[in-house]
Every structure is written in structure tokens, then in C-alpha cells.
Structure 1
Amino acid sequence: MNIAHLSDLHFGVHDPEAASLLVADVTAWGPALTVVTGDLTMRARAGEFQLARAFLDRLPGPVLVVTGNHDLPLDHPWRLYRPYHRYRAFISADLDPVVRLPGVTAVGLQSMPRWRWKDGLVRRSQLALVESTFAAAPPDDLRLVALHHPPFGRTLLNGGKLLRAGADLLLAGHTHHPDVRPMNGTTVVVAGTATSRRVRRTPPSWSRITSGDGVTTVTERHFVAGGWRTARLITVPRSRPVEQLSPK
């Protein structure tokens, strides 16, 4: 199962060359699923969403997309009254999408409430959605959760509960720095910023994820000297906790 993981595109302050060559790099790999974990825009402006929509349309599908904190208006009254209006209009009306493919069941979560400035939240209803979706999945499916905020540090309320919801793989962004770590039987993969000029410690990057034969392999691709190149490869054994393997 090959999965492409992109995050933090930040159209509006993006690198056009990185964005243009990224589509070809992802397409050449041939993922079964492409996941984009939020911050499609810099300031949630209509023109930025149009650029993001055009970019998403060029990625190999199916594509699972969720919102990030930059996809809500920063200081516009719409943040209070219509916070997801432009995201729904240009990207998707479904803020918590579910994708089912042979071998994988994936749930996307909208982790940015309008009343928080930057950090995220997983609601009880979203936890219930993840648990019920995974309970109905074939037993051998890869169970995947995608959201913008990683479940460590202080960036996500209820992140610990989410890690107990049964996911094999959790994909996030937000930090602009790639990271891979096993947490409570879940492999957490944080993608760097794919096309933004707002880099932190690493250049623009995206992650190739291959899961199979009890192992998850993450290959980080960095944009260096005008091209996408492999920078790091990490292998993590898949070890779903016993309570997640037992039928409910």
C-alpha cells in the first residue's frame, strides 16, 4: 500500500517551482492514496484557494484532504460566522471525509475549531467517527487517520484519546518539519511543508509511505537545488496494540 503524504502547501507564499515539480514527483511514484493534511493556503483568501484547488486537481487520486489553521480566515468576521465557507466552496464540503479502498480505511478530521487561534482539537463526535469506521473495516485493512495537528506536544487537545482509537497510521503536518515516531501502537508521520517558503530546519518536503508485511516505511523527499530528492528513509514495525486487534 503506497500513500503520498503532503502538508502545509501555503499557497500565497509558495515556491512555484517546488509546486510544479512536486506533482510530477508524486505522480511518478504512483500512490494508491494521496493525503494532504491542511494549510492549503496562507490566509484563506479566495485566490489562494483557487491555486490550491488547481494543484489538488493535478495530484493522483483519490485525494484525502483536511483543513489546517491557515485555512480559516485570520481576522475576518467570517472566522466567527462562516469559518469554513471558502474551504467548503473550493476544496470540499465534507470536513471529516472517509475514504475506503481495497486494503485501507482512511478517516480525515477537521482539527481546527474557529475559536482556537492555532492549536487543534479532536471532538468526541470525531473520536466516535474514527472508532465506528474502523470497527466496520475489514480486519486486515490499514487503518489511517489524517488531520493537521500532530498528537504530541500541546498542539492537539484529545490527541491521546485519538491515539487509542485504533489507527495503524496517523498523518499530520503543522510543524513544517518532518517526523516519524511510534506512539501507542500507531505510527505517527508528520510531513514537512511541501511547497511553502516558510521552512523550518528542513527544505520543502513530502513523505512516501509504504505499508505492508508488518512494516511501515517512510521515505522523505526534499526539494534541493531545483529538484526533488530522497533525503531520509525510516522503517517502523507495525504493532497494533492487543486491545485494537480484539473484536469489540
Structure 2
Amino acid sequence: MLIAQITDLHVRPRGRPAYRVAETTMLTARALDALAALHPRPDVVLVTGDLVDRGLPEEYAVLRSLLGRLPIPVFVVPGNHDRRGPLREGLPAAWLPGADGEFVHYVVDDWPVRLIGLDTVVPGADHGGLCEARLAFLEAALAAGLSRPTVVFMHHPPFACGMAAMDRIRLFDGEARFRALIEAHGTVERVLCGHHHRPIQTRYAGTLALVAPGVAHQVALDLASEREDLLVLEPPAFQLHRYAPETGLVTHMAYVERFPGPYPFAADPASS
């Protein structure tokens, strides 16, 4: 099974860049073209939040037209830039199956790896949280999985990464209980996140927690200061998670841009 993870699309109405510099709609389209051209083609695409930039109905209409071109099943969860109402109204129900309650969370059981999508949005805030209702959903979903390998995908990372600006807006509310639930279920192969716009990974609760880079703009790497986050137009990328019973889940990062090559590893002629 091959799982593609894209994140932080920040789609805007066509012709209107995000933050005046990031042509997020164009960059998202390029990322989706690169993803669709992969061989082998992914079995599913997970979109880990900040699907659009302002939570506007017209943004979700653009997003629907972009993601709708993919010949691959798509599953989405919201980020802090999303709004649940316009998201539900603007996107196909198949992209958030069974998420018809207050929160956009659900389980997908159709592949060798179970997929649990979590809603970590705190309305009006940039940081994330999991209330008792969402933690109860997660507990029941994990318990129902028995011994099957599982991926939990969500927007806000549950760990500190050392970038002060991003650590101020990570998952806070309910994090201790979330950690305990993940640790209690050894079948969780990955906790997949977005939000930080950088490739970041750490051991977490007996598994690996990963942050995928954005498919549009990135956040400038800063491990030294307390300044607010700044965006940078580093190469966009996404992650591929390949599952096989003999290896478990193995993660690769794939760049959207095309670069020179590939070239054979041909040795230079021996000098005389």
C-alpha cells in the first residue's frame, strides 16, 4: 500500500496569492500533477489540513476542482485556516467519510493500513486541541483496530520541535491523553501531521510522528530565536508512506520540482 500525504495547501481564489507572495493555487496544482504522475500511483492521498487559506466557500470550490482531478481516493482533515461549515458544504462527502457530527473525524478501513483522521481545530485559535469527545472517538477507533497497522493523520503536531514560533501553536489541549492512547496501542505506525511547513520527525509515544513539508510555501527554519514565523519559498514537497507486511511503514519525501537527471553512476575513465 502506498499512502501520499500532502499538507498546507492554503488554496486561494484564482489569481490571489497567499500573503501576497505565495501562488498557492498554482503550486498546489503542480504538486497534484506530480503526485498523479508517480509510478506506482499512490492508493490514497491524505491531506493534513490548511486545505485553504481563509476558510471561504470560493476557496473550497477551487480546492474541489483541483483535488477532483486526482484519479486516487482523497481523505482530508481540517487545519486552523479551515472552517468546518464551508469545508463540509464545499467538499465531497467521500473525502471525509462518516464525519457528519460536530467534528471532522473518521476511520477508513478499506486498505491494509487503517486510516484514522482527527480534527484538531480550536475555532478562532492557531493552536490545536482534542476535547473529551474527540479523545473518546480516538480511543474507540484504536480499540476497534485489533492488531491491524494504523496511521493517525491530523493537522497540529503533538510535540515541540524547537522552532519557538511553531511550538507556540502546536497541539496543546488533550495532548497528554492523546500521547497515552497512542502509546497504549502498538499498532500505530505513524502520526502524520502538517501545520509547520517543514519536514520534521521524532519518536513519539512508541511510534514515529512526522510533519510533512508544504506543497506551496515553507516556514523558515529558525532554531535560535523567538521571532514570529516567516515564510520562505523553498522547494515544495510531499511525503510517501509505503506499507508492506515485511517492512512495516517506510517514509520517503518527494519533491514537486523536476531537477536534472537521473544520470547513471558511471565511473570516470581511469587516469593513466
CA distance in 2: counterparts of 1:181 and 1:60, whole angstroms: 32
Would the aligned equivalents of 2:9 and 2:25 in 1 still touch at CA under 8 Å?
no
Listed as ranges, the gaps of 5+ residues in structure 2 are: 13-17, 161-166, 222-233, 261-272
Aligned to 1:240: none
User: 1:32–1:228: structure 2 CA closer, same or farther, 3 Å change rule?
Assistant: farther
1:163 aligns with 2:179: yes
After superposition, where does 1:1-248 map in structure 2 within 5 Å? 1-12=1-12, 13=18, 14-29=23-38, 30-72=41-83, 84-91=84-91, 92=93, 94=99, 95-115=104-124, 117-139=125-147, 141-153=148-160, 154=167, 155-157=170-172, 158-165=174-181, 166=185, 167-194=188-215, 196-197=216-217, 199-201=219-221, 202-212=234-244, 213-224=246-257, 227=258
- Give TM-score, length-normalised by structure 2: 0.71
Cα distance in 1 for partners of 2:237, 2:219 equals: 9
Taking structure 1 as the reference length, what is the TM-score of the superposition? 0.77
Percent identity (aligned) = 28
| Structure 1 pair 211–187 and aligned structure 2 pair: CA distance change class (3 A) | farther
Normalized per residue, the structure richer in strand is 1
CA contact (8 A) 1:206 1:222 kept: yes
**1:215: Cα distance to partner?**
4.0
Q: Which of structures 1 and 2 has the bigger CA Rg?
A: 2
Change (3 A) 1:113 1:104: same
Q: Distance in 2 between matches of 1:2 and 1:208?
A: 7
Q: Deviations along 1:139-198, whole A, 9 cap, x unmatched?
A: 2x221111100011251122332233233211110001111222122221211111x245
**Large movers: runs of 4+ above 4 Å:** none
* Alpha-carbon distance in 2 for matches of 1:134, 1:197: 33
Secondary structure in 2 aligned to 1:164?
Answer: helix
Q: How many residues align?
A: 214
Q: Distance in 2 between matches of 1:47 and 1:118?
A: 22
Query: Which amino acid in structure 1 is aligned with residue 178 of structure 2?
Result: L
SS at match of 2:64: helix
Is 2:9–2:24's contact at 8 Å kept on the other side of the alignment? Answer: no
| Two-structure CA RMSD over aligned residues (Å) | 2.3
- Rounded to whole Å, the distance in 2 between the matches of 1:41 and 1:53 is 11
One-letter code aligned to 1:63: V
Amino acid at match of 1:156: L
Q: Are the aligned partners of 2:3 and 2:42 in contact in 1 as well (CA < 8 Å)?
A: yes
- Partners of 1:70 and 1:31 in 2: how far apart? 26
Residue 208 of structure 1: how far off its partner (Å): 0.8
* Cα distance between partner residues in 1 of 2:55 and 2:26: 22
Separation (CA, whole Å) in 2 of partners of 1:101 and 1:8:
25
Deviation at 1:16, TM superposition (A): 4.6
Following the alignment from structure 1 to structure 2, what is the Cα–Cα distance between the partners of residues 185 and 64?
Answer: 25
Can you give the 5+ residue segments of structure 1 that lack an aligned partner in the other structure? Answer: 73-83, 230-248
Structure 1's 15 and 118: CA in aligned 2 closer, same or farther, altered over 3 A?
closer
